[in-house]
């Protein structure tokens, strides 16, 4: 699928307002989707029907009128009752910004905003949890379009801080989220992988579907540093000395192994695992969500 310019993280970094970013991402995505082999995805409405007295004029499809000289309205799908929960990691490590134009938290917030916009477009209910070592904010899912303003406001105010602690937080969230739904986690997952996977199992035990966007900065993946340097952990304050080439090679190998282990363990527990970085066009992430959504019916 061709990537519209509106889906480029570099371009979106110039847009300050999160509501505009979300709209640009989703409208660009839908435009690309309808021009691609994926146009069969149902993301807007179920069918057309003839206009009836009493129908809202704003639901008229003017393009259909121009083609057929008849009045049609878009017959939207009934509310699907899907409840989606967006879990955004706001720990201190998410505040890292490398050589790219977007930091991890900025990218994650934009992705969460776009997913919320798209979910509400599909008449699904969407909620939000911001967390680090505890739940910083929780908004229960709603399907009203007016709910988008609350979600975007929370995302715009989010700032990095605190340490990552999945087990306690996800246990508490699982206790709150009793009704089966779709859990979408956006996080750098900087924690021991057994803790990450066991925490996600809280949701799987309750029969939730789980989609994980493992978000890293491009520098965290490629380690482009050419000189020895001191690196400080944003959460613990610990520093590590690293040399150039030899250290970089070992680092990249460990990151590949870590991501591979997470992917394998998530697959074993029927959790969708999607690695992304801050240079990944947003259409790739939204398309993975849409595949998941279609499987849920």
Tens-digit pLDDT profile for residues 87-114: 999 999 999 888 767 899 999 999 999 9
Quick one: pLDDT at residue 3?
A: 46
Q: Which residues of the chain does CATH 3.40.50.410 include?
A: 83-296
225 or 273, greater pLDDT: 273
What's the pLDDT band for 85 if we cut at 50, 70, 90?
very high
Query: pLDDT tens digits for 5-22?
Result: 546 777 777 787 899 889
The confidence score (pLDDT) of residue 114 equals 95
Helix boundaries (H) for 137-244 = 147-157, 166-176, 193-205, 218-222
pLDDT reported for residue 43: 47
Asked whether residue 240 carries a pLDDT value surpassing 90, the answer given is no
Closest CA relative to residue 176, chosen from 202, 210, 150, 194: 202
Q: Is the pTM of this model over 0.85?
A: no
83-296 belongs to CATH 3.40.50.410: yes
Lowest mean pLDDT among 53-57, 140-144, 207-211, 269-273: 53-57
Distance from C-alpha of 171 to C-alpha of 33, rounded to nearest angstrom: 37
Do strands 272-277 and 209-216 pair parallel, antiparallel, or not at all (unpaired)? Answer: parallel
Mean pLDDT of 118-129: 91
């Amino acid at each position: 699928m061709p990537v519209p310019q509106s889906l480029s993280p570099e371009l979106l970094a110039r847009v300050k307002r999160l509501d505009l970013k979300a709209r640009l991402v989703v409208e660009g995505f839908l435009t690309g989707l309808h021009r691609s082999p994926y146009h069969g995805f149902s993301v807007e409405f179920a069918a057309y029907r003839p206009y009836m007295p009493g129908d809202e004029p704003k639901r008229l499809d003017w393009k259909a009128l121009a083609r057929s000289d008849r009045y049609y309205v878009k017959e939207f799908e009934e509310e699907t009752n899907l409840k989606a929960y967006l879990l955004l990691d706001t720990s201190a490590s998410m505040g890292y910004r490398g050589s790219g134009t977007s930091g991890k938290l900025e990218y994650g917030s934009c992705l969460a905003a776009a997913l919320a916009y798209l979910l509400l477009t599909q008449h699904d209910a969407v909620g939000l949890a911001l967390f680090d070592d505890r739940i910083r904010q929780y908004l229960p899912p709603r399907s009203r379009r007016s709910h988008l303003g609350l979600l975007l406001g929370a995302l715009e105010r989010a700032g990095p801080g605190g340490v990552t602690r999945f087990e306690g937080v996800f246990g508490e969230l699982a206790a709150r989220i009793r009704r089966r739904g779709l859990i979408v986690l956006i996080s750098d997952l900087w924690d021991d992988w057994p803790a990450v996977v066991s925490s996600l199992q809280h949701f799987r035990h309750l029969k939730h579907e789980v989609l994980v966007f493992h978000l890293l900065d491009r520098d965290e993946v490629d380690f482009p540093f050419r000189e020895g340097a001191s690196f400080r952990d944003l959460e613990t304050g610990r520093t590590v000395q690293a040399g150039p080439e030899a250290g970089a090679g070992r680092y990249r190998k460990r990151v590949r192994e870590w991501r591979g282990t997470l992917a394998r363990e998530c697959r074993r527990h029927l959790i969708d695992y999607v690695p992304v970085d801050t240079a990944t066009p947003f259409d790739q992430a939204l398309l993975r969500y849409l595949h998941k959504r279609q499987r849920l019916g």
